[in-house]
């Protein structure tokens, strides 16, 4: 299709003009043949035959130019009605109403293809984010049923917390459908970093200890990986959306555990950032790390991050964890990326904290 302004810069010739030109040309041909007949004493019947043939040929040529695009448009429209959004109509550069119609159909197909892609991504995102709290809740309930834990108020509060988080996640993940349609509001507040991250790691340990860490990155039975929390100073506070930050930390831990060696160590490190209530957060593992040439791809959707893993040993996950983490960090106006590390992989998250005061 032509770029914006391309069609406006060309002279448009409407179909009415083309049909009018056809009539005028046919009349001129007929008139010219009659004048030739009068000058050369040619019989009128021969002139009539020649005139009809010439008119039919010109009409056939013009009609083919008008009907061929319509047939193609009809085929493409039928494909769209059956869910095939890959085909496009040729001739969008025509300088008439058919060119406008072809461009409109192509633009409609582009929009429908984007909507269909976003719908599929949303379903995958929802499935990805619901797995971890469901695994933690199931672990709590199975511990109670198997007699490993008593159904005391503390255990029930843990189960209730996971249930409440499921409800919040459903509402939060629906925001993904509006990624390309506007800004999703944040519910930022001030909170203490140590107890907050300690709760996130406790949930991860609970899921790992009972069922293996289950999330959109795959199902791993990694009970050998040790999670370590390092917050300095201990009274560190930050200003962010706690629920969305939970998405970031949980997905980064998931990814780090997946790539950790046997009996490896995953460290979640938090430090004060350069601005008030800002936060520098690191998740470090002891795995094979990420090759430098692939670091720009790890936060792309459906990138499963199997670099450094033996062939055929990928987890089969959806590859959405780090993409969701980047989305949540971007909503805060922060930065996330792969930082240099002497060993393993080091993901660095920077959250800006409180907005600067207005002058």
The residues with which 133 forms a beta bridge, in sequence order, are none
Residue 3, pLDDT score: 45
The rounded Cα 12 to chain-centroid distance in angstroms is 38
Q: Which two tokens stand for residue 86?
A: 């890959």
Residue 307, pLDDT score: 47
Instruction: Indicate the helix (H) or strand (E) that contains 39.
Output: helix 15-40
Q: Which two tokens stand for residue 244?
A: 């969305």
Residue 182, pLDDT score: 53
CB 98 within 8 A of CB 70: yes
129 Rama sector, left if φ>0, alpha if ψ -120 to 50, beta otherwise: alpha
Which residues neighbour 356 within 8 Å (Cβ) at sequence distance 6 or greater? 275
Q: Which two tokens stand for residue 39?
A: 């000058």
SS3 290: coil
Burial (Cβ within 10 Å: 0-12, 13-18, ≥19) of residue 328 = buried
Residue 277, pLDDT score: 92
The residues with which 281 forms a beta bridge, in sequence order, are 270, 349
CB 125 within 8 A of CB 176: yes
Residue 238, pLDDT score: 94
pTM: 0.52
Residue 320, pLDDT score: 60
What span, in angstroms and rounded, lies between the C-alpha atoms of 70 and 89? 10
Closest CA to 6 of 95, 90, 131: 95
End-to-end CA distance of the chain: 47
The rounded Cα 230 to chain-centroid distance in angstroms is 33
Q: Rounded to whole angstroms, what are the CA distances from 45 to 23, 36, 57, 296? A: 21, 13, 18, 78
Residue 322, pLDDT score: 78
Residue 256, pLDDT score: 87
What span, in angstroms and rounded, lies between the C-alpha atoms of 154 and 197? 19
What span, in angstroms and rounded, lies between the C-alpha atoms of 192 and 174? 27
Q: Which two tokens stand for residue 7?
A: 């069609």
Residue 330, pLDDT score: 86
Residue-level pLDDT, tens digit, the chain, 359 residues:
444 444 544 566 666 676 667 677 777 777 776 777 667 666 666 767 777 777 777 777 766 666 667 777 888 888 888 888 888 887 666 766 777 788 888 888 888 887 787 677 767 766 766 777 788 888 888 888 888 878 888 878 878 877 877 776 666 556 555 555 555 677 889 999 999 999 988 887 765 554 444 443 334 456 788 899 999 999 999 999 988 899 889 889 988 888 888 888 999 999 999 888 999 999 999 888 887 777 776 776 544 455 444 434 444 344 567 777 888 888 888 999 888 887 888 999 999 988 766 55
Q: Rounded to whole angstroms, what are the CA distances from 98 to 102, 122, 178, 218? A: 6, 36, 34, 50
Which residues neighbour 39 within 8 Å (Cβ) at sequence distance 6 or greater? none
Residue 356, pLDDT score: 65
Contacts of the segment 108-112: beta carbons below 8 A, 24+ positions apart:
108/80, 109/76, 109/80, 109/85, 112/80, 112/85
| Residue 214 backbone phi and psi in degrees, to 5 | -110, 120
Q: Which two tokens stand for residue 235?
A: 């009274």
What span, in angstroms and rounded, lies between the C-alpha atoms of 77 and 106? 10
- Please tell me what DSSP assigns to residue 133: H
- Please tell me what DSSP assigns to residue 300: S
On the CB side of 151, CA atoms within 13 Å amount to: 5
């Amino acid at each position: 299709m032509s770029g914006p302004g391309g069609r406006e810069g060309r002279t448009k010739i409407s179909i009415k003009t083309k049909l009018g030109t056809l009539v005028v040309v046919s009349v001129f041909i007929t008139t010219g043949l009659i004048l030739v007949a009068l000058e050369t004493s040619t019989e009128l019947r021969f002139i009539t035959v020649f005139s009809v043939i010439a008119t039919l040929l010109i009409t056939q040529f013009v009609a083919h130019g008008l009907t061929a695009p319509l047939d193609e448009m009809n085929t493409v429209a039928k494909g769209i009605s059956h869910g095939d959004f890959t085909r496009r109509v040729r001739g969008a550069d025509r300088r008439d109403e058919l060119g406008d119609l072809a461009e409109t159909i192509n633009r409609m197909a582009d929009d429908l293809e984007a909507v269909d892609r976003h719908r599929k991504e949303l379903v995958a995102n929802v499935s990805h984010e619901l797995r971890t709290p469901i695994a933690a809740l199931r672990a709590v309930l199975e511990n109670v049923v198997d007699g490993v834990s008593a159904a005391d108020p503390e255990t029930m509060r843990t189960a209730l917390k996971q249930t409440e988080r499921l409800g919040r996640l459903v509402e939060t993940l629906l925001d993904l459908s509006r990624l390309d349609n506007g800004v999703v509001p944040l519910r930022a507040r001030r909170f203490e970093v140590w107890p907050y991250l300690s709760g996130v790691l406790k949930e991860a340990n609970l899921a790992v200890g009972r069922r293996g860490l289950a999330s959109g990155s795959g199902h791993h039975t990694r009970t050998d990986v040790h999670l370590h929390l390092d917050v300095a100073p201990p009274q560190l506070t930050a200003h962010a959306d706690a629920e969305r930050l939970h998405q970031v930390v949980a997905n980064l831990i998931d990814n780090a555990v997946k790539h950790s060696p046997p009996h490896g160590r995953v460290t979640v490190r938090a430090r004060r950032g350069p601005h008030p209530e800002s936060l520098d957060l690191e998740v470090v593992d002891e795995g094979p790390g990420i090759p430098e040439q692939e670091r720009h791809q790890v936060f792309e959707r459906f990138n499963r991050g199997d670099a450094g893993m033996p062939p055929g040993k990928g987890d089969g996950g959806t590859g959405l964890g780090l993409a969701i983490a980047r989305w949540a960090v971007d909503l805060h106006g922060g930065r996330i990326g792969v930082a240099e590390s002497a060993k393993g992989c080091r993901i660095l998250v920077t959250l800006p904290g409180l907005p600067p005061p207005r002058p």
